[in-house]
Amino acid sequence: VCVCPAASSSSESGPVEVQMCQSILPMHANHQGELGAGQLLKWMDTTACLAAERHAGMACVTASMDDIQFEETVRVGQVINIKARVNRAFNTSMEVGIYVTVQDVLSGVTKRVCVAFSTFVAKPTGTHKVSLKPLDIQGSVGEMLEYSLASERRRLRLYNEQAFKNLMKDYNNLQDKKPVAPVVSTELTRVESIELVLPPHANHHGNTFGGQIMAWMENVATVAASRLCGCYPSLGAVDMFRFRGPSSVGDRLVFKAMVNNAFQTSVEVGVRVEAYNCEEWNEGTPRHINSASMIYYIPGRDTEKQTFPEVTYTTLDGERRFIGSIVRKRIRMHAELTCVLQVGVYVHEEADKLSLKVEMKVKTTACYAFSLLADLRLRPQWDQNYLSCEEVEKADEEETIYHIKCTTVNGSKSRDFVVLLSKRQPCKNGDPYVIALRSVTVATVPPEENSIRSEVKCAGFLVHEIGYSTCKVSYYNQVTSGVLPYVEGNIAGWSKSMEETAMSCITFLEQDLLTTQF
Ligand SMILES: CCCC(=O)SCCNC(=O)CCNC(=O)[C@H](O)C(C)(C)COP(=O)(O)OP(=O)(O)OC[C@H]1O[C@@H](n2cnc3c(N)ncnc32)[C@H](O)[C@@H]1OP(=O)(O)O
């Protein structure tokens, strides 16, 4: 690994924003005078790439662009503004946040079109991967928040791919759920199109421009969707674009699209891109460089949402796509559910410290949540990592020592903790209720042979009142080696255990209130 040039000259750098402003002309629009999503994706990719290159101080390539929801239609005569900023540099990759707004020139009203996140990688020199300099996070609160969230989004990016593979395994028996006639075969929507990559399609490094590839993909996907509904569908969202490998001037790019599945008011189209250079073209050996799925709907008012005809598959490939679309929908709905239920898991790194924060919105009073959380003996009821928790000593009304026994992880010995819990009521209106936990040593509970005595350095809850019978519970934990086995799945992105524990905590705090009320 070599270090990027700008990194060697200064140790850290703050986020730099790059902006692009475009007037929408007829040449950018479709036959209905609306800005094509493909054109917008091109501009977004260019702006983001320039922000990434400004941070890296060298050429960068797009590795992926996360799911995007388009919230507003942009029309000829309006002006769009695209802002891109590096949120965080990891090792060889960095996340760039892209914020798009549209302004109506006549009324002056500005609306949000979409927010997107792309991952860029500093272009490797030969076989050497390039390490990026870290981002200076001493910026505004917003920048610091994005810096922390970037790490969480990266975890989800990697998690979703694995979650998709796991869920696909569960769906092998979907054969029974195949719809019954009359339905349309997805085969009837197949579209294939070829493009020869010419210099105007390539970026300043000779690679086919990522935004251009996305625009071509959107083009074939729209044709496939319109074959099903017999009208002009609108692109509502895209699932992650992943640039698996490069292509360059002279390559032939073959785009294959077909409807994967139709839901009630939306349809999912899958697009696959294969690249051939001259030799590969003659030998018929393509490179798979990109795949994405796009969600279309038929425009109209919310009250009169139009439905798509039901579809079925007639080939094995069609079956794989059909099932895949159900799995992706499930993942999207899970993400939406998590959002609705207001559970957020954040990972924060600072110097050599790694801290976790889990935020939960709970429909109960802050005082009630505080009283349940401050009695640690109740925690085994909602935290599956707790086997038991006993009170060892009550120093006074506000300080209690507990002995916690936890489950085994990855076949190792079980762990136990002896902690001091301190609780404080708010001093004045607006202050939170505080519950703090840290390890202590007491002679009456010596370490046991069959258990690893582990440490809680700094953990606890803050409970804020946020309205009538609603509160926000924030759980904090500075991760020690003793706590790591219980949270590493979440940090690495292969489990959602913290989200599940948070959901269980919410249920506990809300249900208990009901049983005591009635
Ligand atoms: C002017 C606009 C810019 C453009 O248009 S560029 C043209 C379009 N893009 C391309 O042609 C890129 C094609 N893809 C590639 O060359 C490679 O796949 C690419 C991106 C260099 C990655 O190479 P790999 O060998 O897979 O490298 P790697 O596994 O060591 O990963 C390197 C870092 O990238 C990250 N990464 C790879 N795939 C990702 C993805 N889908 N989403 C998010 N992050 C991803 C990976 O986590 C790693 O990051 P880090 O080093 O841990 O910070």
> What is the reported pLDDT for 417?
94
Pocket mutation for ligand 1, best pick of 93, 242, 277 (most atoms within 8 Å of C-beta)? 93
> What is the reported pLDDT for 313?
87
**Which amino acid is residue 304, in one-letter code?**
E
State the Cα–Cα distance between residues 61 and 330, nearest whole angstrom. Answer: 31
> What is the reported pLDDT for 517?
40
Other C-beta atoms closer than 10 Å to the C-beta of 349 total: 14
**Which residue's alpha carbon is nearest to atom 10 within ligand 1?**
246
Residue spans of the chain under pLDDT 50: 1-11, 175, 337-341, 492-494, 513-518
How does DSSP classify residue 180?
P
| pTM beyond cutoff 0.80 | no
Token look-up 């902006």 returns 19
Collapse the DSSP code of 196 into the 3-class scheme (helix H, G, I; strand E, B; otherwise coil) and give the result. Answer: strand
The predicted-structure confidence for 439-452, as pLDDT tens digits, reads as follows: 999 999 999 888 88
The predicted-structure confidence for 315-370, as pLDDT tens digits, reads as follows: 888 888 888 888 888 777 655 544 444 556 665 655 556 677 888 888 888 898 99
Relative to beta strand 414-424, strand 451-453 is parallel
Q: Distance from the CA of 242 to the center of ligand 1, in angstroms? A: 8
226 in ligand 1 pocket by Cβ < 6 Å? no
Over pLDDT 90: what percentage of the chain? 49
Predicted complex ipTM: 0.93
19 in ligand 1 pocket by Cβ < 6 Å? no
266 in ligand 1 pocket by Cβ < 6 Å? no
Burial 227-236 (b: 16+ CB within 10 A, else e): bbbeeebbbb
